[in-house]
């Protein structure tokens, strides 16, 4: 898996724009382009958020109208709703995706994230564990948020080893190391996360709060991020402002 970056985001958009130019009615191209546009908002790899939201909404609506029983348009719509922090609506769409395709690993992870930010962390864990059983190489954050730090470190180290260029995994691991009192390791992971990141979100806790989805979560989930993820990053060296 290549790391998220503005260059990769632009490259993906150009692929699907070309596909749409060849076949403007392609449900697959419409769905994938909508997903990439919404994904760029989630990854903070776009400077045209409002325009991308409008384009993704149009593409997802067209794809769903043409092929309502296909999981791909529903996944595009769910990703769009997740980018808008409309967690409850996104949950419904991801559940539809999984009803149509029970082995879509990322849909389990994304559904788990939506459940988390909607405040249902107890429903998140089975979804994440199901996804890990299907694809053990994929990362997750729930153990860290539950203060199960040693367990979180085990999973995040595995994820880091499998996906060394993913900045968010490095940041989660930096936080876990910080919470575990392993300051030197935390500092190393934080430095690597910053190097790999395509933006300045790890420059301060305030910046992370402004950019991350935690801002749209319910108070108890925001409190979990404050007491675990942000607390660990502070110990790793991330300043408040």
Contact residues for 86 (Cβ-Cβ < 8 A; gap 6+):
none
Domain limit, last residue, from 104, 122, 152 = 104
**226 and 157 share one domain:** yes
Residue 174's CATH number: 1.25.40
**100 and 1 share one domain:** yes
Q: Which domain holds residue 202?
A: 139-241
Give pLDDT tens digits for 48-96: 999 999 999 999 999 999 999 999 999 999 999 999 999 999 999 999 9
Domain count, the chain: 2
For residues 91 and 103, which has the higher predicted lDDT (pLDDT)? 91
**154 and 61 share one domain:** no
Confidence at 225, pLDDT banded by 50, 70, 90:
confident
Long-range Cβ contact pairs of 202-205 (< 8 A, separation 24 or more): 202/167, 202/171, 202/233, 202/238, 203/238, 203/239, 204/238, 204/239, 204/240, 204/241, 205/230, 205/233, 205/234, 205/238, 205/239, 205/240, 205/241
In a domain, 118, yes or no: no
- pTM given for the model: 0.74
Residue 58's CATH number: 1.25.40.10
Residue 1 confidence (pLDDT): 45
**155 and 224 share one domain:** yes
**78 and 6 share one domain:** yes
């Amino acid at each position: 898996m290549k790391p998220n970056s503005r260059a990769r985001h632009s490259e993906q958009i150009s692929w699907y724009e070309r596909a749409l130019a060849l076949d403007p009615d392609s449900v697959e191209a419409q769905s994938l382009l909508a997903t990439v546009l919404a994904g760029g908002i989630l990854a903070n790899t776009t400077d045209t958020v409002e325009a991308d939201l409008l384009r993704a909404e149009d593409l997802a609506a067209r794809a769903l109208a043409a092929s309502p029983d296909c999981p791909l348009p529903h996944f595009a719509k769910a990703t769009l709703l997740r980018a808008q922090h409309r967690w409850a609506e996104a949950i419904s769409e991801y559940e539809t995706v999984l009803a149509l395709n029970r082995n879509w690993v990322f849909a389990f992870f994304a559904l788990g994230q939506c459940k988390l930010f909607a405040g249902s962390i107890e429903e998140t864990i089975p979804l994440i564990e199901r996804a890990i059983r299907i694809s053990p190489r994929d990362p997750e954050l729930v153990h860290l948020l539950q203060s199960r730090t040693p367990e979180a470190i085990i999973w995040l180290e595995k994820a880091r080893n499998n996906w060394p260029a993913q900045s968010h995994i490095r940041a989660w691991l930096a936080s876990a190391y910080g919470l575990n009192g392993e300051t030197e390791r935390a500092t190393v992971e934080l430095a690597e996360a910053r190097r790999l990141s395509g933006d300045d979100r790890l420059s301060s806790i305030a910046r992370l709060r402004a950019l991350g989805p935690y801002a749209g979560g319910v108070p108890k989930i925001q409190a979990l991020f404050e007491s675990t993820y942000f607390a660990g990053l502070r110990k790793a060296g991330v300043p408040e402002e």
